[in-house]
Amino acid sequence: MAINNNDDKKKKQEDCRWTGAGEMSVKRTIILCLVVIIMITLLAACGKKQNGPSGNVSLPLEIDRVTISWNASPRTTFSYTDPAKIKSIAEYLSSLVLDATEKDPTVYDGGGWVITVHSGAETFEMNHYGNAFFKTTDGIWWELSYNQAAEFDDLLKHTLPDDMPEFIPKNNPVFDEWKGMK
């Protein structure tokens, strides 16, 4: 009987070779394996955490002036008209990577900045709130990373305004460093 079984197997193999069914099943297996690998790769990519939609800061091409006000003290407004300083501020704003948030920035303590970009007769107002939130010109709040917020503080410290304001708040670490820089 064992001999008979081997003969049956040989005959089936010969039939497969003759009809091409053996080759077809190898091709199907390879294709199926490739499809499975692609699906696993796609599922793994979809399984990664997504932060939701990202926002960006839209700025006009021509900027005449930028004013930055400390929101706790409207009298503390810095005005920038120097093209190099405006370019530095615009580059920072354009580089922000903003993530959608469901948090309410108004429940957090902390100070922030109101940034106004002037282009001809148009003004574009944004809020850089503390080290966590940013409101774009369309009024939508976004989250930003602490490192991005720290870059803004560094930018302000190293890009002194054209005119220092008359009033600089006391006991504020951002302004304490500026008092002796003029």
Alpha-carbon span 123 to 102, nearest angstrom: 27
pLDDT of 60 above 50: yes
The class of domain 54-176 in CATH terms is: mainly beta
Mean pLDDT computed over every residue of the chain: 74
Question: Can you give the pLDDT at residue 88?
Answer: 92
Question: Can you give the pLDDT at residue 50?
Answer: 37
pTM of the model: 0.61
Which strand (E) or helix (H) includes residue 92?
A: helix 83-95
Give the Cα-Cα-Cα angle 107, 101, 111 (nearest 5 degrees).
40
Question: Can you give the pLDDT at residue 28?
Answer: 80
**Domain layout of the chain by residue ranges:** 2-47, 54-176
pLDDT of 18 above 70: no
* Confidence class for position 51, pLDDT limits 50, 70, 90: very low
> How many alpha carbons lie under 13 Å from residue 80 in its C-beta half-sphere?
23
* Confidence class for position 90, pLDDT limits 50, 70, 90: very high
